Amino acid sequence: MAVVLHWVLGLAILGMFGVGVYMTDLPFSPWRVKLYNWHKWAGVTILALSIWRLVWRLTHRPPALPQVIVLGMPAWQTRAYHATHYAMYALFFTVPLIGWAYSSAAGFPIVWFGQIPLPDMLPVDKEFAALIKPLHQISAFALVGLAGLHTAAALKHQLIDRDGLMQRMLPGRG
């Protein structure tokens, strides 16, 4: 389950980021409205999957890193490994929650998949919406940046160190 959630969330976040960057530069049109709604639905879905992932992680501890990897990593890499994971988990929640707060404050309700109206997180306040909108963008860029760092570290372990670390999260292993 951890592997499935890892890859589903990873791919969903990257796809969501791409759509988010693309849609912000579009002129107002039915296509842009459709993309914004899809973006909000996907954001709520990512939030739900992130909750599931966190609960899974808290109730199913991952196996310890193999000793050969632990002994081969300098202390700063171990600290960076943990810090990156904690920061990504925080951003898994921060990005969609700020997006939801922005949508509520801007007066654009979220109707999940066009069927389930979700409660507004905040009352309509256009000035506050303008203040938090950049926080959604900055946190999304931070999450994708950390995902890039995470990917680079995994590739370093796979291609340079050849220590087998990446095997832990590959689909179809075992």
Q: Where are the beta strands (DSSP E) in the chain?
A: 111-112, 116-117
* CA atoms of 83 and 73, how far apart (whole Å): 15
Q: Please report, for the chain, how many H helices and E strands are present, in that order.
A: 5, 2
* pLDDT at site 174: 47
At 81 the three-state DSSP class reads helix
Question: Taking the CA of residue 138 as centre, how many other CA atoms within 13 Å lie in the half-sphere pointing to its CB?
Answer: 5
* pLDDT at site 139: 98
Q: Which long-range contacts (CB under 8 A, 24 or more apart) does 107-115 make?
A: 108/36, 108/40, 110/40, 110/41, 110/44, 111/37, 112/41, 112/44, 112/45, 113/41, 114/37, 114/41
Which residues in the chain come in under a pLDDT of 50? 174
CB of 110 within 8 A of CB of 116? no
Angle between helices 75-106 and 30-59 (to 10 degrees): 140
- Domains of the chain and any CATH numbers: 2-169 (1.20.950)
Q: Tokens in use for 164?
A: 């087998």
